[in-house]
């Protein structure tokens, strides 16, 4: 799964990397992105790539409450085309989520607490997650989210797949990574389902590096670059 990630690249750097226009001013660097946070994503607008800021945690158009998004931060690639919450977006509203890296927690034998790891590309380029996005507008008579009934809220989810050999020591799932050569196919609403399925596979071995980091990342309130600093694991035995 993917429950926390880093979105620290500047809007200008992202625009250059994706050859994209910036739809709205991006937020500042976020070193501990958590569900319900807003981050830049890349979508296709009139056959061009466009960067805009969207809330993490997909809310289906038919949902009665915005809070459901907290349970929809990830979508399993194996079932995304059939699940009612995701199948419409999978067919028509796909996006790319830039990330400098992401966090995952590994079980430690003999210990109750898990060890967090920061996972990033070995070549220093941004990671690009496969995502889906939706538009949601609350019905006035059912609005339990304390939001303006006229407001349209855009949300997204990150697709996950089985872990590759880089990730297996830490977790059995990982975000789906989209290679630059496949960006346009993923964003194009006309891409055939069979072609999309071929893109939702584990990343090639050797793409990622993992390093242990401090448990300070466990608290969402902690949000600074030092969260990425390497943490020396205690010796076993």
The CATH code of the domain that includes 116 is 3.90.1680.10
Taking Cα atoms as reference points, which of 189, 150, 158 lies closest to residue 174?
158
How many residues does this entry show for the chain? 237
The average pLDDT across 49-72 equals 94
What residues make up the domain containing 175? 4-228
pLDDT, position 190: 93
* 49 in a structural domain: yes
Pick the catalytic residue: 2, 38, 95, 134?
2
Query: Which contacts of 148-156 are long-range, i.e. CB under 8 A and separated by 24 or more positions?
Result: 153/55, 153/59, 153/66, 154/52, 154/54, 154/55, 155/54, 155/55, 155/56, 155/57, 155/58, 155/59, 155/69, 155/72, 156/41, 156/54, 156/55, 156/56, 156/57, 156/58, 156/95, 156/97, 156/131, 156/132
User: Distance from CA of residue 184 to its chain's centroid?
Assistant: 18
* 141 in a structural domain: yes
Instruction: State how far the alpha carbon of 88 is from the alpha carbons of 49, 54, 150, 236, in Å.
Output: 21, 18, 23, 48
pLDDT, position 2: 87
Judge whether 142 counts as a catalytic residue.
Answer: no
* 234 in a structural domain: no
Judge whether residue 144 has pLDDT over 70.
Answer: no
Judge whether residue 212 has pLDDT over 90.
Answer: yes
> What average pLDDT is seen over the chain?
91
Side-chain half-sphere exposure of 103, counting CA atoms within 13 A: 27
Cβ proximity of 39 and 100 under 8 Å: no
* 223 in a structural domain: yes
Report yes or no on whether pTM surpasses 0.85. yes
* 233 in a structural domain: no
The average pLDDT across 77-94 equals 94
* 236 in a structural domain: no
Pick the catalytic residue: 38, 95, 104, 134?
104
Judge whether 2 counts as a catalytic residue.
Answer: yes
Q: Which residue has the tokens 């990630």?
A: 5
Domain count, the chain: 1
* 235 in a structural domain: no
* 80 in a structural domain: yes
pLDDT in tens, 10-60: 988 999 999 999 986 667 899 999 999 999 999 999 889 999 999 999 999
Question: Which phi and psi angles does 16 have, rounded to 5°?
Answer: -70, -45
């Amino acid at each position: 799964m993917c429950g926390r990630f880093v979105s620290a690249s500047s809007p200008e750097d992202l625009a250059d990397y994706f050859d994209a226009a910036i739809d709205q001013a991006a937020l500042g660097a976020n070193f501990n992105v958590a569900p319900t946070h807003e981050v830049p994503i890349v979508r296709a607008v009139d056959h061009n790539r466009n960067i805009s800021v969207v809330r993490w945690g997909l809310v289906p158009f038919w949902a009665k409450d915005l809070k459901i998004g907290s349970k929809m931060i990830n979508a399993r690639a194996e079932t995304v085309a059939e699940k009612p919450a995701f199948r419409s977006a999978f067919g028509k509203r796909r996006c790319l989520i830039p990330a400098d890296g992401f966090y995952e927690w590994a079980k430690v034998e003999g210990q109750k607490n898990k060890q967090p790891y920061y996972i990033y590309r070995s070549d220093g380029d941004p990671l690009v997650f496969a995502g889906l996005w939706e538009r949601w507008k609350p019905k006035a008579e059912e609005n339990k989210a304390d939001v303006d009934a006229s407001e349209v809220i855009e949300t997204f989810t990150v697709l996950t797949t089985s872990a590759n050999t880089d990730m297996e020591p830490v977790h059995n799932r990982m975000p789906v990574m989209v290679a630059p050569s496949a960006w346009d196919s993923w964003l194009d609403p006309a891409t055939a389902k069979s072609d999309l399925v071929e893109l939702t596979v584990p990343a090639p071995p050797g793409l990622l590096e993992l390093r242990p980091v401090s448990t300070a990342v466990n608290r969402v309130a902690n949000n600074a670059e030092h969260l990425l600093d390497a943490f020396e694991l205690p010796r076993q035995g």
